[in-house]
Amino acid sequence: MTIELSGVIPPLTTPLTVDGGVDAESLERLCGFLLEAGVDGLFVCGSSGEVALLSDAQRNRVVEVAAGVAAGQVPVLAGVVDMGTARVVDRARDAAKAGAAAVVSTPPFYVKPHPDEVVRHFRLLKDAVDVPVIAYDIPSATHSPLPLRALEEIARDGTVVAFKDSSGDVDGFRSVLTATADTQLRVFTGSETVTDLALQLGAHGAVPGLANVDPDGYVRLARSAAAGDWAAASAEQDRLRRLFAIVDVADRGRIGFTAGALGAFKAAQYLRGVIESPRCAEPLLPLADTEIASIRALLEEAGLPVAR
């Protein structure tokens, strides 16, 4: 099975009900909100989707809802992140059955895999499912970086069709583009703040968490870049960089980085009227009312309509 990937593919948050279940109605609205902005795909159950905190049943439900809303308009990518190959394969088979057009995996973690073991992981995953496989590098979360040598090998033999880089290493990202330039690998940046730079370097697209809040901005940025209007892309990036300050409003002496960042995305979506509750999955603690008020001010400064 082949898949064409490019452009802006937001990594969706996972809206939750007040009792912690998947809020399917809010998720449907979120998918519609993103599709209306002109995004090129939907990536569910990624880091922004709190994949590490969702049950298997919740993951499957999220994929089903997103695939139902997308209805073939754009591909739905499903994160199948887990500690080891056997668990990832199980998650991938479930995601494919639920309607995912492709599955997204990090290298194994908790263990410290050798590059050859990382290659083996992705090859076993590819052999286990009938949908394309995408590699994902986010060492800040997994503490298991995806070695360039391993990525180059699985790109050259077609084991993976795309790569999402959330390492934060711009020079490393450039090395990936250089090393895989003569392959079919589609390379995406996960950065919110240097998206324009990544596209100028040759990235095929972006998977920025902030696109949950302002998908129109990232679509404008990508379209300006595609047209070679780097001044417009840079101006849009500057505005989005200022908006990204929402992830820093939380008191990190009270809650952790993930709760502060994902809580900010969800609070912004709540304020924009897209989802019904800004709560994150357990055990993440909620933002305070004063912090949500600060997010409201940043949304208004960015020129975004606020419904609540």
Phi, psi dihedrals of residue 144, rounded to the nearest 5°: -135, 85
Q: Which is the catalytic residue, given 164, 218, 266, 270?
A: 164
Is 136 an annotated catalytic residue?
A: yes
217-240 exposure pattern, b = at least 16 Cβ within 10 A, e = fewer = bbbbbbbbbeeeeeebbeebbebb
CA distance linking residue 15 with residue 83, whole number of Å:
24
CA distance linking residue 154 with residue 253, whole number of Å:
41
Going by C-alpha positions, the residue among 113, 56, 109 that lies closest to residue 80 is 56
Give yes or no for a contact between 288 and 251, defined as CB atoms under 8 angstroms apart.
yes
3-state secondary structure of 207: coil
Which residues lie closer than 8 Å to 183 by C-beta, 6 or more apart? 152, 155, 156
Q: Which is the catalytic residue, given 110, 112, 136, 266?
A: 136
Is 218 an annotated catalytic residue?
A: no
Active site residues: 136, 164
